[in-house]
Amino acid sequence: MRSILSLFIILNNNGVEASHKVYQKFQSLSAVKVDQLHRTGFHFQPPKNWINDPNGPLYYKGLYHLFYQYNPKGAVWGNIVWAHSVSKDLINWEPLDPAIYPSKPFDINGCWSGSATILPGNKPIILYTGIDPDNRQVQNYAIPANLSDPYLREWIKPDDNPIVVPTNDMNASAFRDPTTAWFTDGHWQMVVGGRRKRRGIAHLYRSKDFKYWVKAKHPLHTSQNTGMWECPDFYPVSMSSKIGLDTSVNGQNVKHVLKVSLDLTRYEYYTIGTYNLDLDRYIPDSGLKDGWTGLRYDYGNFYASKTFYDPLKHRRILWGWANESDAQLDDVKKGWAGIQTIPRKVWLDPSGKQLVQWPVEELESLRGNKVEKSNVKLKKGDHVEVEGITAAQADVEVTFSFQSLDKAEEFDPSWSNAKDLCGQKGSNVQGGVGPFGLLTLASQNLEEFTPVFFRIFKAPTKHVVLLCSDATSSSLGEKLYKPSFAGFVDVKLDNKKLSLRSLIDHSVVESFGEGGKTCITSRVYPTLAVLDNAHLHLFNNGSETITVENLSAWSMNRPLMN
Ligand SMILES: *[C@@H]1O[C@H](CO)[C@@H](O)[C@H](O)[C@H]1NC(C)=O
Ligand SMILES: *[C@@H]1O[C@H](CO)[C@@H](O)[C@H](O)[C@H]1NC(C)=O
Ligand SMILES: *[C@@H]1O[C@H](CO)[C@@H](O)[C@H](O)[C@H]1NC(C)=O
Ligand SMILES: *[C@@H]1O[C@H](CO)[C@@H](O)[C@H](O)[C@H]1NC(C)=O
Ligand SMILES: *[C@H]1O[C@@H](CO)[C@H](O)[C@@H](O)[C@@H]1NC(C)=O
C-alpha cells in the first residue's frame, strides 16, 4: 500500500519540463515478466522495457538500420542508450547491441536523440546530443568502427567531441536533437532544436569537415510562442513526383519541409516552404502556420519523428514514436512501453499544400487471409461485421461512397479544433453525412470499440471533412488516456467517395484517411476485445445512406521482431 501511495506522489510531481520525466524509483526496475496481452504483433518494439524516439535511421550496404532511445533496465524513461536493430525489408528486425551509450565525459549523463548523415564515399556518421558532466546538452559525433561491416555493430565516439556546445546566451538545457546534415555551398549544414524564452528555434550550424562547426549568423527558422523545438527535421520534397530526395537536394522543382516536435503540446507540426540560400533561411509558404495551428503528420500518439532518404527505393521514409496511453504504473507492471509506428513513405501532395503518407509497401508481405466486401449499403444505425480475419491484428482498406451531400450538418466556424469537435460529436451522435467508418477492436456486444470514422459538414463555400479515431469507448479499463483524436481532411469530394486504411494491432490503431492525407494513431487497451475476441465492423450513424464500395481486409502475420 505504502509503495503504491508513494508512486502516485512521484507520478504527480512531474516538474515543469514534460520531455524527460524521471521516475527514479522505477527506471532501473527490471521487468519480472512481460505482459503479452496488449503487445503489438507487427509494430516495431524490443522484447521489453521503455522506448522513445527513433534515431538516425539509415540504409547501408543492403540493410536498413534503426536506432532508438531505449532504457535497458526498465519500463519508464531513464538510463537511455541508442539501441540498434537492422532489417532487410523494414518489417523483419534483428536486434544488435546498443550502438551508443554513456561512456565519455561529453555524454556521461545521457545519449539523447540525433540523426545520421551519409558522407561521400558511403560513410555514415551520427550526430547526437550528449549530456555532459555539467548537465549541458552538447552535440557529438560517432562513426562506425568498421565500414566493411554492413551491420555497423560498433561505433566510435572520437575524443575531439563535443563538436558543438551551447554558447553563453543559450539555455544549455534546451539545445538538442541535431538533424541529418545537408551539403550546400561547399559546406555541411545542420540544425539543432532550441528555444529562447517562448520562442522555438532551429539553430543553424555549418562545417567544411564535419568536425569544426560554426554557428550561422541567424537561425534557419524561429517562431514566437511555440516553446522548445525538439527533434527538428528538415528535408526536400519533389514538387512533381512521389520520389524521395536526398537531403542535400535543392533547386527548381523542390520544396522543403521543416518539422518540429513541440515539447509544450507533445505533438508535432510541419510547414512546407522554400529554403532560400541567399538569405540562408527557410521560409514557410504563405498561409502555413508554425506551431499548433499548423499541419501535422499524425493527429494522434505520434512524436519525435524522423525521416531518412532510402537510396534503394528512392523514397523518403518517416519513423515516429507512439507512446503509451496507460499509466506509468501499468507500464511498470507490463514491463514495456512505447512502439514505433509502421514506417511510412512520405511525399508532397500534388496541391503542394500538405504531405501525404502511406505505410511502406513491404508491410503488405505480412498480409495473410483476406476477406472482401463490395456494394454494402449502410443505413443510419447499421453496423455490419467483417468476419474471417484476425480482427486484433489486421490491415483494412475500404472505400465509402454516398449519393448526396444535402444532409451534411452545418459547420460552425468556431470549430477550429478537430479533436474538440470529435469529442463533441462521437460515433454515437447521429448526423447527416456520417459518422460512418470502421469499428475497430470491438467486443462481441460492443461494450468496447475504437471507431475510426468520417463526418462531413457544410460550410458556406465548401464541405469540411472530419476524420476521428476516438478512444472514448475503447476500453472498460480505468486510468487510461482516452482522447478523441481527429484531424480535418482537405479533399474536394467531387466523386462523393472517401477512403480509409487502418492498421489494427492489439493496442494500436493507425489510420490513413483519403490515401494518407490525414493520419491518426491511437493507443488503446481493450479488456474484452482482445486476441480472438476482437471484432471489426463497418458502421453508419448518419441519415444519408452510405455504400461500402469495396473493402479488403487481411489478417496480418507476425514478422521477426527483435
Ligand atoms: C570488419 O567487418 C568485416 C565484415 O563483417 C569482417 O570480415 C572484418 O573481420 C571486420 N574487421 C574487424 C577489424 O573487425
Ligand atoms: C532553460 O531550459 C530549461 C528546460 O527547458 C528550463 O527548465 C529553464 O527554466 C530554462 N532556463 C531559462 C533561464 O530560461
Ligand atoms: C449510433 O448512435 C446510436 C444513438 O446514439 C448509439 O446508440 C450507437 O451506439 C451509435 N453507434 C456507434 C457505433 O457509436
Ligand atoms: C476500391 O475501389 C477503388 C476504385 O473505386 C480502388 O481505387 C481501390 O483500390 C479499391 N480498394 C480496395 C480495397 O479494393
Ligand atoms: C503520451 O502519453 C499521454 C498520456 O499519458 C500524454 O498525454 C502525452 O503527452 C504523451 N505524449 C508524448 C509525446 O510524450
User: What pLDDT does 10 receive?
Assistant: 36
Burial 428-441 (b: 16+ CB within 10 A, else e): eeebbbbbbbbbbb
Same domain, 338 and 458: no
Average pLDDT over residues 400-413: 97
Ranking 31-35, 141-145, 314-318, 513-517 by mean pLDDT, the lowest is: 31-35
Atom of ligand 4 nearest to the CA of 551: 13
Residues recorded for the chain: 562
User: What pLDDT does 27 receive?
Assistant: 81
pTM of structure = 0.95
Task: Express each pLDDT in 512-555 by its tens digit.
Answer: 999 999 999 999 999 999 999 999 999 999 999 999 999 999 99
369 vs 24, more confident: 369
Burial 531-540 (b: 16+ CB within 10 A, else e): eebbbbbbbb
Same domain, 157 and 292: yes
Same domain, 314 and 375: no
Task: Express each pLDDT in 412-466 by its tens digit.
Answer: 999 999 999 999 999 999 999 999 999 999 999 999 999 999 999 999 999 999 9
CA angle 386, 500, 400 (to 5 degrees): 75
Average pLDDT over residues 21-40: 80
Same domain, 333 and 387: no
Same domain, 23 and 73: yes
Hey, which of 21, 112, 171 would you mutate to test ligand 2's pocket, going by the most ligand atoms within 8 Å of its Cβ? 171
Same domain, 185 and 235: yes
Residues paired with 318 in a beta bridge:
307, 344
* Atom 4 of ligand 5, residue of closest alpha carbon: 325
User: What pLDDT does 1 receive?
Assistant: 29
Which range of residues forms the domain containing residue 432? 368-556
Pick the last residue of a domain from 359, 389, 405: 359
Is 53 considered catalytic here? yes
Confidence at 21, pLDDT banded by 50, 70, 90: low
Same domain, 416 and 536: yes
User: What is the chain's mean pLDDT, rounded?
Assistant: 95
Task: Express each pLDDT in 161-209 by its tens digit.
Answer: 999 999 999 999 999 999 999 999 899 999 999 999 999 999 999 999 9
Distance 227 CA to ligand 2 centre (A): 11
Same domain, 290 and 393: no
User: By C-alpha distance, which of 12, 67, 87, 79 is closest to 363?
Assistant: 87
Distance 88 CA to ligand 1 centre (A): 20
The percentage of residues in the chain with a pLDDT greater than 70, rounded to a whole number, is 96
Dihedral of the alpha carbons of 397, 525, 323, 293, in degrees to the nearest 10: 60
Contact residues of ligand 4, CB 6 A cut-off: 397, 399, 549-550, 552
* Atom 8 of ligand 3, residue of closest alpha carbon: 428
CATH code for the domain in which residue 290 is found: 2.115.10.20
Contact residues of ligand 2, CB 6 A cut-off: 16-17, 171, 173-174, 228
Does an H or E element contain 82, and which?
strand 81-87
**Can you tell me the distance from the alpha carbon of 292 to that of 431, in angstroms, rounded to the nearest whole number?**
28
DSSP assigned state of 181: P
